[in-house]
Each structure stands twice: as structure tokens, then as C-alpha cells.
């Protein structure tokens, strides 16, 4: 059975679910003010901080779980993803096509910055789009082709998924190419499966994962969103829970979906008051809150009236599962 959770009227910052649901049913809370294109949530449990970005304005944000305080820094270019380093005062940011180490603790003023690597010289109009660190601290970051902001058209096959380590900064390893929009990725609990999305394909693919040398093999389609004919939108960012089920943001679909990658089955749909849902990440002290980012950048002025919360970050609680710890990047010690 598929559980479908819908939303009610926005009252203050809390969305109540429609119908006579129990107290343990999912609740949806808007926790940040809307920005143009919120993306790339990453939870740092050392500080109880959620990092996220506003891609096109160059801003990297932090939301503090304990104080609910929001801070941000601004870089010169498009920014995504933002991944915390082993050094708690450094974050690694995708700035255009470069990996940049930035001194920032999520609260105080920005410090030093250093470009560590630049990718995709052959696709000089592409940019980074999504990425995470693996268990060993290697970066798995992907790019996408250029967008025509007036039409929404994308340059196809201009994206690449790279593996970036401390040793290969001058020549990051190409893992998957070509791709269109390199997007959501996740590792299972045993760390022997790797999941990946190239958005226009509508598919989540699975690879066998070798953690020792950081290699992938034996590609297969794990989830095909095209099979979920009751839904609209395309798969965007993604995370995984302790049951090894995926939580996938649907851009243009107004929801985050819960799917079983072993069977391809759709388990749950959680609707949000935003048409364009961009990514999801487990966080909170117990890793049992699903933080979901959304966008308003493609909405018309009239649509923004219909989706006033679009562009905000939402916290979904009572989902009866939790996430896995987020890995820190280990490619730079200091700058």
C-alpha cells in the first residue's frame, strides 16, 4: 500500500496534515524563509547545523537546529554542493566548475578560500550540481550542462560524475559520463551499493560499490519514476534511510517520495506546498528529521502567490525511520 501524505493550510510555520491523522503521522514544518533555489542540504551533527545553498545567488546558508538562527555567506558564482570537511571550520563548495575550500564555521564571518580543483574543461559552460563525500572522505561530485534560463532547455550530455580525492585534485577521476543533470546520490547501510540519478532519465540506478578503492560496477536500474504514473515531476536530490530505502525529491512534482530500490516499489508520497522540490537529507540530533529543500526560481509571479512557501526548507517529522550519518570530506586539512 502507498501512503500519501497531503498538506493543509499554512499556519505560522507549521503545515498540518489533512484528515484525522494520529499524532505519529508525518508533520511538515517550514523552517527557513524562501530563497530562489534552495538545494544541497547537508547535516553536520557536530554542530547541529544544516547547510544548504541558493545556487544562482552564490549564497551558502546554515540553519542552526538549537537556535533556529540562519546565517549565510556569498561567493562569486553558482554554488552547489556544500559539504562539510573533517576540519569543522571548513566547508567544501562547488563554485561554478571548481571545488573551493572555504573557512566558515556556519556562524561567524567567512575566512580564507582556496580553489582545490577545477573540472570539465571540455564543457566550459557546465557547472557542479550535486555531490557528497563517501565513507573515506572522497568527494563524489557531478556536473550538468548549461541551462537556457528563458526556455529551461538544457545542453544534453555535458555532465560528468567525478571522484575527487586529496591525491587526484589535478585530474579528478571520471566515474560516469556522459550524463545530463548529475543529481541525487546515496550509499546503503552496508556501504556496498551506490545509488545515482541523472534527472532526465527519470531513473535511480544502482552500482555495486567497493569502498576500499572507491569504485563502482554492475549498473542496474533500481527505481524508475516513469513507472509511477500517478506522479509528475523528475527525480532530483536523494537520500537513504536505515532501512536502505530511498527518499527522492521530485522537481516539478510537489513531493518527496519514499521508494524501495530492491523492488522498485513506491512506498510513500509526502506532498509539499512547493511545486519544485530539489533535495532531501536526514538530520537532527537523532537523524530522524527529513530536511527538504525547494525552489521558486522557475515560478511565475502568479505561481509564487499560489506557492508562497516555495524556496523554503521544510522539516518532516514522524516518518518512522531515520537516516545514516553524513560523511565528512577528507581532501584538505587547512587553508
Which sequence positions are flagged as catalytic? 236
Coil, helix or strand at residue 153: coil
Coil, helix or strand at residue 304: helix
Question: In this structure, is the dihedral angle defined by the CA atoms of residues 240, 243, 244 and 250, taken in order, positive or negative?
Answer: negative
Residue whose entry in the numeric block shows the C-alpha cell 536500474: 221
Pick from 196, 177, 183, 189: nearest CA to 135: 189
> Cβ neighbours of residue 97 under 8 Å, at least 6 residues apart?
118, 119, 120, 124, 126, 127, 128, 143
- C-alpha distances out from residue 263 to 132, 223, 224, 245, 259, Å: 25, 8, 11, 10, 9
- C-alpha distances out from residue 129 to 54, 238, 301, 322, Å: 12, 13, 26, 25
Amino acid at each position: 500500500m502507498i501512503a500519501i501524505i497531503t498538506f493543509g493550510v499554512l499556519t505560522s510555520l507549521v503545515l498540518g496534515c489533512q484528515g484525522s491523522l494520529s499524532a505519529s503521522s508525518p508533520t511538515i514544518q517550514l523552517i527557513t524563509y524562501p530563497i530562489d533555489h534552495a538545494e544541497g542540504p547537508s547535516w553536520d551533527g557536530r554542530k547541529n547545523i544544516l547547510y544548504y545553498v541558493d545556487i544562482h545567488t552564490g549564497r551558502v546558508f546554515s540553519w542552526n537546529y538549537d537556535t533556529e538562527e540562519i546565517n549565510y555567506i556569498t561567493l562569486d558564482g553558482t554554488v552547489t554542493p556544500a559539504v562539510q570537511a573533517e576540519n569543522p571550520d571548513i566547508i567544501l563548495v562547488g563554485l561554478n566548475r571548481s571545488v573551493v575550500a572555504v573557512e566558515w564555521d556556519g556562524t561567524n564571518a567567512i575566512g580564507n578560500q582556496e580553489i582545490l580543483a577545477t573540472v570539465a574543461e571540455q564543457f566550459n559552460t557546465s557547472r557542479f550540481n550535486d555531490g557528497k563525500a563517501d565513507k573515506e572522505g572522497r568527494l563524489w561530485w557531478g556536473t550538468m550542462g548549461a541551462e537556457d534560463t528563458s526556455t529551461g532547455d538544457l545542453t544534453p550530455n555535458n555532465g560528468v560524475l567525478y571522484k575527487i580525492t586529496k591525491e587526484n585534485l589535478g585530474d579528478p577521476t571520471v566515474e560516469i559520463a556522459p550524463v545530463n543533470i548529475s543529481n541525487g546520490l546515496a550509499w546503503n547501510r552496508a556501504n556496498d551499493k551506490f545509488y545515482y540519478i541523472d534527472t532526465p532519465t527519470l531513473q535511480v540506478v544502482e552500482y555495486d560499490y567497493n569502498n576500499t578503492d572507491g569504485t563502482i560496477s554492475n549498473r542496474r536500474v533500481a527505481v524508475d519514476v516513469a513507472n509511477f504514473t500517478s506522479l509528475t515531476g523528475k527525480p532530483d536530490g536523494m537520500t537513504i534511510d536505515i532501512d536502505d530505502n530511498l527518499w527522492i525529491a521530485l522537481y516539478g512534482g510537489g513531493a518527496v517520495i519514499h521508494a524501495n530500490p530492491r523492488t522498485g516499489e513506491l512506498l510513500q508520497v509526502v506532498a509539499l506546498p512547493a511545486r519544485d522540490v530539489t533535495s532531501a537529507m536526514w538530520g537532527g540530533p537523532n537523524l530522524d528529521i527529513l530536511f527538504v529543500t525547494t525552489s521558486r526560481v522557475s515560478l511565475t509571479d502568479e505561481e509564487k502567490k499560489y506557492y508562497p512557501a516555495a524556496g523554503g526548507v521544510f522539516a518532516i517529522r514522524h516518518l518512522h525511520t531515520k537516516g545514516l550519518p553524513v560523511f565528512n570530506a577528507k581532501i584538505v586539512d587547512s587553508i
